[in-house]
Chain A
């Protein structure tokens, strides 16, 4: 069956992120001048304006900072998943990004919960990083 959820709009700045994900690595832009690692990807380092950047593979581990559960449908492709969660993950490297928590019911998500990246193949060209809990989780 064809993939019906939104796919990323790949541009000059985020291409490396999606290429790494296809390779089952979580990566973020890294400034070659000041060493800053940041997200989302962009045209320069937000700390020093340097445009010399490369991609750093991250540990893929972090903690849930906050989360929401969508009960209203905005993207038709998510219709069968309602209600679904989106969480803000603070990674060990200090940057935060949003993703889905998988392998756990929405009512067991809590802030500070330790998570690690997993990779879900969406299409032949796109793999989407998601996160699953590591360690004990609270009862529902």
Chain B
């Protein structure tokens, strides 16, 4: 009997990211998701020392059409061309798909390109008709506000705890020239900002901007002679939960995140103590607490104090979102966090570099809870 199984040992460190690139982030009505995507792709190819002719696979995220983009960049005869859903949860999924395609020989060198012009088209992330619009309910922010409130009621978490998440990442952003928000803020300043969907305040929301990120992925053997040291995809896991997708998950994604935690370290052949830094999907500040608790970095309910104690700061136990993340650098839906993970394990992060950084873990708490472990 023939079986076709790629197990953790086969996948571990067999593929890698060999190029990362990003556009500038901001408000750019003179271009769009395509134009910014090209900017990021060119930067990533240059970073990898490759030409477009080396690329035989393409995965696009949020860019409106894989077909238009392929025509625009003149990429033909690719063996893989995927346009995944534009939700941020698909950034990690894209990397997983690329690894699987490389492992099965579907493609030899894949460009993953994400482009977003949400700022210049005034994307409001709310206000569309929906199941609960007759009651005035809309927006991802309000959904996270419901979860934040539940966390507060269950565990005594405070708005100040949420403030510590953003304040920590903003200090990191001050060391990132490409971050759109670099001026530090205090907890008092966080508290003084207006509510959007209470209990979430303006500073609990990510920074919507135009921008793009590209990654170039290939197999470890092909990466040997390339321009830069590869960042290996050491392991990954995902766990989906849609049981209350129209409201919010009652357990704040703990069960799916625990499922991810139970597999991702084994996949990478490490335990949590080997992780030098974290990149956590921070669409809203409380999401970071759900991710930390679900993945077991702290106990359920202890996320707030865990962050306030400085564990996520540079110099802390697990420096997190050293780029500033979505709350300060730009809302690039996980893509820029994955690029930052690569730059950290390469040691390219300048004053925000995590010392002797070998292993970085990306975590996204959402309906597709996911994690990727990247190592040098």
Q: How far is the CA of A7 from the CA of B134 in the complex (A)?
A: 5
**A9-B129, A75-B127, A86-B142 known; A68 vs B136 contact (CB < 8 Å):** no
Query: Which of A9, A97, A126, A130 is B247 in contact with, Cβ under 8 Å?
Result: A97
Which residue of chain A is the closest to B196 with respect to CB atoms? Answer: A72
Interface assignment of B246: CB less than 8 Å from any CB of chain A: yes
For chain A, residues 3 to 59, give those with C-beta under 8 angstroms from any C-beta of chain B: 5-9, 40, 46
Query: Which A residues lie within 8 Å of B136 (CB)?
Result: 5-6, 70, 74-75, 78, 81, 84, 86, 100
**Cβ of B153: which chain A residues have Cβ within 8 Å of it?**
66, 110-111
Q: With a CB–CB cut-off of 8 A, which chain A residues contact B138? A: 74-75
A88 cross-chain contacts in B, Cβ below 8 A: 146, 247-248
The answer, yes or no, to whether B105 is at the interface (CB within 8 Å) is no
Contact A96 B135 (CB under 8 A): no
Task: Tell me whether A116 is interfacial, beta carbon within 8 Å.
Answer: no
B window 91-146: CB within 8 A of A: 124, 126-127, 129, 131-139, 142, 145-146
Chain A, interface residues (CB within 8 Å), range = 20 to 34
For the complex, give the distance between the alpha carbons of A81 and B137 in Å. Answer: 13
Could you say which residues of chain B place their CB within 8 Å of the CB of A134? none
- Minimum distance in angstroms from A108 CB to a CB of chain B: 14
Interface contact B129-A6, CB-CB below 8 Å: yes
Check A5–B134 contact: CB distance below 8 A: yes
Chain A residue contacts of B133, Cβ below 8 A: 6, 8, 75
Q: B44 near A: Cβ within 8 Å? A: no
- 11 example contacts (A-B, Cβ-Cβ < 8 A) are as follows A8-B133, A46-B243, A65-B150, A66-B153, A71-B196, A71-B198, A72-B126, A72-B197, A74-B126, A75-B138, A111-B150
Given contacts A74-B139, A130-B135, 13 further A-B pairs with CB under 8 A are: A40-B131, A66-B153, A66-B248, A68-B142, A69-B198, A70-B136, A71-B194, A71-B196, A74-B138, A83-B195, A88-B247, A98-B132, A98-B135
What residues of chain B have their CB less than 8 Å away from a CB belonging to chain A? 124, 126-127, 129, 131-139, 142, 145-147, 149-150, 153, 194-200, 243-244, 246-248, 250
A-B CB proximity, top 4 nearest: A74-B127, A68-B145, A69-B198, A6-B133
